[in-house]
Structure 1
Amino acid sequence: MHKKLLYALGISALIVCVAFFLWPRPEHPSVESVDLASAEVDAENIAAAEIRTVKLSPPKIASAAIKVEAVKRRPLQPTCTLPGRLDYDQNRHVSIHSACEGILTDILVQPGNEVTRGQVVARISSPEVGQARSEVQSRLASLQLAVNEQKRNSEICSGVEELVALIRAGESPESLVTGLATETLGDYGRTLIEAYARKRSAIAIANGSREAADVGAIAGRIQTERERERQTADAALTSLMEQALFDVGQQCKQSTAAAEAAQREVDIALQRLNALLGPAAPVVTQASFSKVKKDTLSNVDLVSPIDGTVEERLLTATERVSIGVPIFTIADTSHLWAEADIRQSDWNAITVGLGQIVTITAPAIANTSFEGKVIVVGRRVNLATGAAPLVAQITSSDTRLRPGMFIRMTVPTAESRDVIAVPTKAVVVHENQTFVFVADSDAEFRRVDVATGEQQNEMTEITSGLQVGDQVVVEGVFKLKSEILLAGEEE
């Protein structure tokens, strides 16, 4: 039994071995055949990679609107961009308020209205202003009285001085009366002329009896009395003249001082009135005050101190106005401030100074940039934000610029340098490779791989791949890119 089993197993093993050697097997590829297939695949890839030139037919050239520019060296300023916001120019942004209490009677402008400097925007009725104007009127009346008194005393002083000079010159009393008939002398003219006449009479009497006294025709005692009367009359006249000159001089000085004091009272009253009217109102003077009508003594005109636009109205007519409470906000929005923050990490990199020009863009206004002149480079870091302010002034009539708008400010970080640069729209990126198209002819365009550097003002620095003078496509680039990709797919 065992022998039969062993015999069967041997036969089975023999059959398996024969089958193994006789069964047909697939042939292994040779090394030569593998290399050939691999070469065919690489050839296809190389062929696809070599499609770097696009030749367009005339219709395609017309539809693509291709435009080329010669490559040039251009100045490039390394920059960084800071976030910020627009704000009113603080020198052209004012709140209109009253310097006195009263009732708002008239509103003459509305938000959005353009106003000019000095234009009346509202009117207030203020009893306090009415009292101030009444005070000015009273002080002006007192000043007029004082001036009249000063004028009269000055005329009397001049007349007395002239009369004394004529008396000392020996003019006759009759000629004095005739010559000074039109002069203002007050009581001094009559008193002095009478004293002068007595003196002349005493002199004439004394001189007339002197010869008679010498020959004994009259007593010596009588002549002595007449000489004494002459001396008394002369002394009396001298005293009267000196007293008259002193009196009129003092009166003249006193009236001048009184007029000056009255003028100061008028000035003080006008200053108080102007303070109540506000700093933007036209200054009231003595000359202009006389033009005020009696029925408008309490009126106060609120005027705009600048040219601008009414940004906001905060009160309505008939409301009570308190001192310092804003009624309007007026701003000149053709001048705005762009306020950016310089973080401490950027401080050392930024090289900007007062008066330097920076570029400002606003995401809300596409494809538009504005120039700003730096007016503030903050020295103090804000503890809350950890940044220092950088403020540039924008002067623009573009009404799309609004206070509060988010902006980006581009500021220099290094010195300007000359580089090869092309318009950013000429640069194409595909599968992480940057390239441009160079025109070899009017209809043939070649892809050129390039390495790029910094970007500024829609220009891109080319660090390798192009030379000055190369004709780079700057319009129709997308069309050329599409053509070269389609050609690659067809291959």
Structure 2
Amino acid sequence: MTNVPAKAEPAENQKSAKSKSGLVATIAKVGPTLFVLAVMGGGWLAVHEINTGGGSEEEDSIVEEAAAPDSLTLPEGKVKAAKFESVPAQMQAVEHVHTIPGRIRYDETKHVDVKAPMDGILAEVLVTPGEHVESGQLLAVLRSPEIGQARAEVLKRQKEREIAQQMLQREMTLAKNLEQMSAMLDQGKSVDSIENAFRNRALGSYRQDILSAYAKMQLASELLSKIQPLANSGSVSGRTVRERQAERQMAETEFRTARDQATFAANQAKINAEAKVSEAERQLNLAWQSVETLLGYKGNKSTANLSNEEALSRLEIRAPFAGSVESRAFANNERVTRGDSLIVLANTDSLYVAASIRESDWSAVSLGQGTTVSVSVPALEDRIFEARIRYFGREVQADTNSVPLVATIENAEGLLRPGMFVRVTIPIGEAREALSVKPESVVQHENQEFVFVDESGGTFKRVDVATGQTSDEWVEVTKGLQPGQLVVTRGAFLLKSELLLQGEGE
């Protein structure tokens, strides 16, 4: 009996041991989960404390110190080395401008495709691409029978003119001699004296007609003068006297008629000769025009060589203006036909700028011819050139809803080339007075524009501004400045760097 209690005690101990081991196993199983939950809760409390401003006073002071300063003072040595310059903010005329894309183009009046005026053989080409030529310089030589025929026509018309001029000269000489002979006839000179005076001078058929009638008249006058005393004495009948008087009158009438006819015929011959000379001149000019049309330029008529067949068929192609050879299409001794492009010649001393004015910039169309616009060339590191408006197109382009703008730009330095992309800045609207500063005064940081006001003594204050319209010379300030404040122009970027470094140091 005494052994029973001894056996019961170990059973209870075993039960208690099993209970403890189960509790430990449970704790081991859920322990990691509880730990993770505790860590997450602690983290949430920390974030909540930060978001609700539960930071220390030390953290607040750090945030305040991180704010950028709005002014800085530089030592005297640094101010002298930087050589700052300042300009007062002042009222200036500002004008809204708009920049549009454009292209450099040839001036069509100075860009010529020299073409073959006729069929022939290109005997010589005397220039190469890139070569500069002067106005009238020989470019090429073409041989063609067509130009030979045109020059032969000139020779023919020249001969016809020479003949007409000789005829006119003869008729003028005859008219002059006839006039002088008429003066001697009026003086009653004898036939012999008149014939002696005009023995070696041209009178044509007028000599015989007039002098014959004059001789008859003089003979009739002599007979009448001889019979007149006899009639007074009664030796001759009155009838005979009357017959002699009638013969005298008839002879005088024939003489006067001969003179009138001679004078009229001489004047008519002179007029006809003059008309023939004029007609010959016109035909010669037409022949020369035909030659010049084939040549493509006006040649010197006085020095034109028409002496032989080789010279007749030689056509010299000359430069219509000074410029450079852009291209050449044929070599020596090649056959060409009418209209073939031989040489492209261009003068780029002045060029065109072509751009398009769209609907949003419609007011720019009212700009007058000659208005100055600025042209920026990206290929030349955005160098600015001036151009003058030549014209606006009248027709609106349907595909772009714009009108073309063409401006003339000088290219004396030869830097601009046709085809270059440019940016054209055109004024929009009327200019107005506004508070303005120099463009280099305005700097920017974190999308905020500001300037530095010179407060003297090496102290510079940052002033945030708002800007409006801009031009090459001035920037409108709509907010932040007052007229007369001294604003830094040269050295503004250096001050910006110093200000940012100062903020980082603090």
Query: Aligning the two structures, in what range does the TM-score lie when normalised by the shorter sequence?
Result: 0.7 to 0.9
Q: How does 1:167-186 map to 2 (within 5 A)?
A: 167-186=185-204
Instruction: Give aligned pairs, total.
Output: 461
In the alignment, what sits opposite 2:298?
282
User: CA separation of 1:42/1:241 partners in 2, compared to 1, >3 Å: closer, same or farther?
Assistant: same
What code does the residue aligned with 1:323 have?
R
The change in CA–CA distance for 1:233 and 1:334 in structure 2 (over 3 A counts) is: closer
Q: Deviation at 1:207? A: 2.5
* In structure 1, distance between residues paired with 2:493 and 2:88: 19
- TM-score, normalized by length of structure 2? 0.80
Picking from 242, 250, 274, the partner of 2:268 is 250
Change (3 A) 1:349 1:114: closer
How far apart are 1:381 and its partner, in Å? 1.0
Distance 2:400 2:68 in 1: 55
**By how many angstroms is 1:388 displaced?**
1.0
Q: Kindly, what percent of the aligned residue pairs are identical?
A: 35
Q: Which amino acid aligns with 1:362?
A: V
C-alpha contact 2:94 2:431 (8 A) present in aligned 1: yes
Q: Is the 8 A contact 1:451 1:463 kept in 2?
A: yes
Q: Identify the residue that residue 437 of structure 1 maps to in structure 2.
A: 452
**Which string of whole-angstrom CA distances, capped at 9 and with x for unpartnered residues, describes residues 265-308 of structure 1?**
22221222222222xx23444x455x654342222222222232
Residue 414 of structure 1, aligned match among 429, 432, 435: 429
One-letter amino acid of the counterpart of residue 144, structure 2: S
Residue 99 in structure 1 maps to residue 114 in structure 2: no
Moved more, 88-97 or 217-226: 217-226
Where does residue 288 of structure 2 map in the other structure? 270
Question: Per-residue deviation at 1:340?
Answer: 1.0
CA contact (8 A) 2:363 2:429 kept: no
- Determine if the alignment matches structure 1 residue 139 to structure 2 residue 157: yes
Q: What are the Cα deviations for residues 67-104 of structure 1, in whole angstroms up to 9, with x where unaligned?
A: 23123323321111111111112232222234333322
Cα deviation, 1:321-362, whole Å, max 9, x if unaligned, reads 433433222222221111111222332577533222111112
The one-letter code matched in structure 1 to 2:498 is E
- Cα distance in structure 1, aligned partners of 2:505 and 2:233: 166
Q: 1:442 to 1:95 in 2, by over 3 A?
A: farther
Of 453-462 and 358-367, more deviation after overlay is shown by 453-462
Instruction: Assess, with a 3 A threshold, how the Cα gap between structure 1 residues 338 and 207 changes in structure 2: closer, same or farther.
Output: same
CA distance in 2, matches of 1:205, 1:466: 128
Aligned residues of 1:132 and 1:273 also touching (Cα < 8 A): yes
Which sits farther off after the overlay, 190-199 or 125-134? 190-199
Q: Is 2:465 aligned against 1:447?
A: no
**How far did residue 50 of structure 1 move?**
5.7
1:296 aligned onto 2:289 = no
Residues 230/406 of structure 1: CA separation in 2 closer, same or farther (3 Å cut): same
- Is 2:102 the partner of 1:84? yes
Letter in structure 2 aligned against 1:261: E
Does residue 310 (structure 1) correspond to residue 325 (structure 2)? The answer is yes
Q: Evaluate the alpha carbon distance shift between residue 267 and residue 44 of structure 1 in structure 2; reply closer, same or farther with a 3 A threshold.
A: same
Partner of 2:213: 195
Pairing 1:344-423 to 2, within 5 Å after superposition: 344-348=359-363, 352-423=367-438
What amino acid is aligned across from residue 71 of structure 1 in structure 2?
A: P
Counterpart CA distance in 2 for 1:351 and 1:194 is 87
Pairing partner for 2:481 from 461, 466, 481: 466
Partner residue, 1:149:
167
> SS in structure 2 opposite 1:302?
strand
CA distance in 2, matches of 1:221, 1:432: 139
For residues 9-44 of structure 1, give each alpha carbon's deviation from its aligned partner in whole angstroms, at most 9, with x where no partner exists. Answer: xxxxxxxxxxxxxxxxx9x99x9xx98845433332
Q: 1:54 to 1:156 in 2, by over 3 A?
A: same
Q: CA–CA distance in 2 between the matches of 1:231 and 1:475? A: 116
Using the size of structure 1 for normalisation, the TM-score is 0.82
8 Å CA contact retained: 2:357, 2:364: no
2:129 alignment counterpart? 111
Could you report, residue by residue, the CA deviation over 1:206-257 in whole angstroms, capped at 9, with x for unpaired residues?
Answer: 3213333554545777656655544454344344334433433333333333
Aligned match for 2:141, one of 123, 126, 139: 123
5+ residue gaps, structure 2, are 1-41
Query: Would you say the 8 A contact 1:117–1:305 is kept in 2?
Result: yes
- Alignment partners' CA distance in 2, 1:248 and 1:440: 105
Matched residues in 1 for 2:208 and 2:166: separation? 23
* Residue matched to 2:259: 241
Q: Over residues 366-424 of structure 1, what are the superposed CA-to-partner deviations in whole Å (9 max), with x where a residue is unaligned?
A: 24211111121223111233221112111232322111111111112222223333344
Alpha-carbon RMSD: 3.4
CA–CA distance in structure 2, aligned partners of residues 349 and 177 of structure 1: 89
| Local SS of the residue matching 1:364 | helix
Shift of 1:60: 5.0
User: Residues of 2 paired with 1:258 and 1:350: CA distance?
Assistant: 58
Between 1:250-259 and 1:223-232, the stretch displaced more is 223-232
What is the aligned partner in structure 2 of residue 43 from structure 1? 61
Classify 1:350/1:427 alpha carbon distance in 2 versus 1 (closer, same or farther; 3 Å): farther
Task: Tell me the secondary structure at the aligned position of residue 430 of structure 2.
Answer: coil
Tell me the SS of whatever aligns to 2:159. Answer: helix
* Aligned residue number for residue 12 of structure 2: none
Residue number among 313, 335, 338 corresponding to 1:323 in the alignment = 338
**Structure 2 CA distance for partners of 1:45 and 1:189, relative to 1, 3 Å:** same
Gap change, CA 1:157 and 1:481, over 3 Å in 2:
closer
Tell me, yes or no, if the aligned pair for 2:133 and 2:325 is still in contact at 8 Å: yes
Contact 1:70 1:468 in 2 (8 A): no
- 1:185 deviates by 1.0
Distance 2:215 2:53 in 1: 156
Partners of 2:87 and 2:489 within 8 A in 1: no
